[in-house]
Amino acid sequence: MFMLPPLLTASFHPKAEPCGLNRLGFLGVSNGYPPSNSGVPLFSPLLLGGARRQSQRPVPAPSAPLIQSPPSFDCLFRQCSFLFSQSHLDTVSASLLMPATPLIPRTPRTLPCPCSQPPVGGSMLSIPSAGSQGRGADISRACAHLLGRQICTSSALPQKNLAAAGPEKFTEEFIKKQIEEFKIGKRHLANMMGEDPENFTQEDIDRSIAYLFPSGLFDKRARPLMKHPDEIFPKQKAVQWGEDGRPFHFLFYTGKQAYFSLMHETFGKLLAVEKHQDRLRSKGLPTQDPKQLSLTGSRWLQKEELEELLVEAISDHDYSRFLQLMERLLALPCCSVEEEFILKFRRQLDVQSSKQVIQELQHDEKGVAFASAEGRRKSSKATAVVRDIASMKILVNGVDYLNYFPVVQDRQQLLFPLQFLGRLGRHSLECSVSGGGHSAQAGALRLAISRALLSFVSESEREEMRQAGLLTSDPRVKERKKPGQEGARRKFAWVKR
């Protein structure tokens, strides 16, 4: 009597289906499958083939479907009955075993079974004939064997998630061996090139490799390389526990030992400061410390910098918690007791004005100080020479600025740096400009004049100029026209039909 295993009903469970299909994304089951006669994608052959494929090995590239023609639902049922009926248990082929796998999509792994060898396609599995032993024992053994195999090859088993395993890990001995091989290879290479093996540097190695293995590949990373293994293999995290298995750090089991030990330490400092304050208060001394912590001109560590410090990944939440704790520590009046601990986590803000490249003042034959600088705006390039002569001569491309810039706005732009510094009558300008329109040329000239004036001016005035925006180059350029639109932003007229 054909016995429909109750497990078959489990296969119709809606949750069992996506489980297998997700794993076989690369086989593309969704298009055209399942075949119309079977309403159950779970019995699709691609799923079965994929289930067989998924063993301990990495998944190979998708090839032709493993089972050529989709068996019909009736055929599969017959095969299932084949398995469970008593007369046909003598020889069962592996390919027939496979259809049984979707029958138990969610069986927990109860029986130990050797999964190290994946089942080879098409192998014939023979079970000894019933004549030698009792039928019952034979069937139970066969069933146990089948169940064992089924559980091993079920697609619903938690397979090793290869993506989650992370980058490949190398053992210490392997890296040591690689280093030895590298050293020997370096000496061989030096001998080959006829150079001294003792003083063979990395540059020599690179040169020799480029000579011996010339490569026309564009990507430098694809070319042959010979480097010290420490540079090639990624740094592995050292093992966190000793010989007996006991971890070294007392917060190891939290998962983020460096971060939490930092939090623990910081909180300890906070408690220490509070205790100090209590002692002062009990003695009647003022708690306000005369030495105040100066934190102007410094900023907290950024998240990346903290990660670098702790050699551990930190989430945004953790980082904000850490900052909260430090702010809490700073809020205490006696926090200067732990000043050096706090300063470890502060970075100096660099003054922006110090980043300017300042031309030095030059002197021409008559002893007149002058400075020159360049500026750009849109597509204009300008050069300006500012002389320390108290005349109002302003020449642009050899022409007086009144004639070159008929528009008042452009002349205002030109003179604004001098006006801002109050040096309107004290300098003369000789400028050359090309490209762009009149407004762009005026802007380029303004920037060039400001940069030239930096050499004449004191530090505080430089900072003022920077804050006024005189030294910032205008990044605005013409936006490109996009396809499907009339211009950069303007769309074509919208027509209802």
Partner 1 sequence: MVTTSKVAMNYISQLCCCLIKVEEKESGMAAGHLTKVLFSVKHSGLQSRLFGTAAVAQTDQVENDSTALGNKILTQPLNHPDYFRLSELFSLKDLFEARVHLGHKRGCRHRLMEPYLFGCRLEQDIIDLDQTVEHLQQALNFTAHVAYRGGVILFISRRRQFCHLVEKMAQECGEYAHTRYWQGGLLTNAPVLYGPGVRLPDLIVFISTLNNVFQQHVAIQDAAKMNIPTVGVVDSNCNPSLITYPIPGNDDTPSSVELYCKLFKMTINRAKDKRRQMDLLQSLATPNL
246 part of the interface to partner 1, by CB under 8 A: yes
- Binding-site size for partner 1 (CB under 8 A) equals 22
* Residue of 240, 302, 356, 467 that binds partner 1 (CB under 8 A): 240
The answer to whether residue 174 forms part of the interface with partner 1 (CB under 8 A) is: no
| Region near partner 1 per CB under 8 A, out of 77-85, 128-136, 217-225, 267-275 | 267-275
The minimum distance between CB 67 and partner 1, in angstroms, equals 33
**Applying CB under 8 A, does 25 fall inside the site for partner 1?**
no
- Beta-carbon contacts of residue 400 (< 8 Å; ≥ 6 apart): 394
Q: Is 247 in the site for partner 1 (CB under 8 A)?
A: yes
Q: Which stretch binds partner 1 (CB under 8 A): 265-273, 333-341, 430-438, 473-481?
A: 265-273
CB of 169 to partner 1, least distance (A): 9
- Closest CB to partner 1 among residues 239, 357: 239
Does 325 interact with partner 1 (rule: CB under 8 A)?
no
Asked if 264 touches partner 1 (CB under 8 A), the answer is yes
Nearest residue (CB) to partner 1, 261 versus 372: 261
Under 8 Å between Cβ of 331 and 277: no
Kindly report the number of other CB atoms within 10 A of residue 375's CB atom: 24
- Which residue stretch of 37-45, 243-251, 345-353, 382-390 sits at the interface with partner 1 (rule: CB under 8 A)? 243-251
β-strand pairing of 428-434 with 394-396 = parallel
- Residue range at the interface with partner 1 (CB under 8 A); choices 113-121, 176-184, 194-202, 251-259: 251-259
Q: In the complex, what is the shortest distance from the CB of residue 345 to partner 1, in angstroms, rounded to a whole number? A: 19
Q: Is 316 in the site for partner 1 (CB under 8 A)?
A: no
Nearest approach in angstroms of CB 151 to partner 1 is 17
- Closest approach of Cβ 329 to partner 1, in Å? 14
Q: According to the binding rule CB under 8 A, does residue 32 interact with partner 1? A: no
The residue (of 315 and 434) whose beta carbon lies closer to partner 1 is 315
Q: Which is nearer to partner 1, 256 or 376 (CB)?
A: 256
Residue from 14, 114, 216, 255 that binds partner 1 (CB under 8 A)? 255
Q: Nearest distance from residue 164's CB to partner 1, in Å? A: 7
Distance of CA 43 to the CA centre of its chain: 40
Single-letter residue type at 129: S
Min. distance of Cβ 297 from partner 1 in angstroms? 32
Residue 306: count of CB within 10 angstroms of its CB: 20
Residue 289 CA to residue 263 CA, distance in Å, equals: 25
| Interface region with partner 1, contact rule CB under 8 A, candidates 9-17, 223-231, 260-268, 351-359 | 260-268
253 interacts with partner 1 by CB under 8 A:
yes
Among 37, 56, 254, 485, binds partner 1 (CB under 8 A): 254
Among 245, 284, 290, 483, binds partner 1 (CB under 8 A): 245
Give the number of C-alpha atoms closer than 13 A to the C-alpha of residue 407, restricted to the C-beta side. Answer: 10
Q: Which of 1, 120, 163, 164 binds partner 1 (CB under 8 A)?
A: 164
Cis ω for the linkage preceding 34 (within 30 of 0): yes
Q: How far is the CB of 254 from partner 1 (least distance, A)?
A: 5
**Residues 189, 195: Cα–Cα separation, whole Å:** 9
- Binding to partner 1 (CB under 8 A) within 381-440 occurs at none
Residue 252 binding partner 1, by CB under 8 A: yes
Nearer to partner 1, 264 or 281 (CB): 264
What number of other Cβ atoms are within 10 A of residue 368's Cβ?
12
Site membership for partner 1, residue 239 (CB under 8 A): yes
Residue from 121, 224, 268, 297 in contact with partner 1 (CB under 8 A):
268
Q: Does 250 bind partner 1 (CB under 8 A)?
A: yes
**Minimal distance in Å, beta carbon 263 to partner 1?**
8
Residues that bind partner 1 (CB under 8 A): 164, 237, 239-241, 243-247, 250-256, 260, 264, 267-268, 271
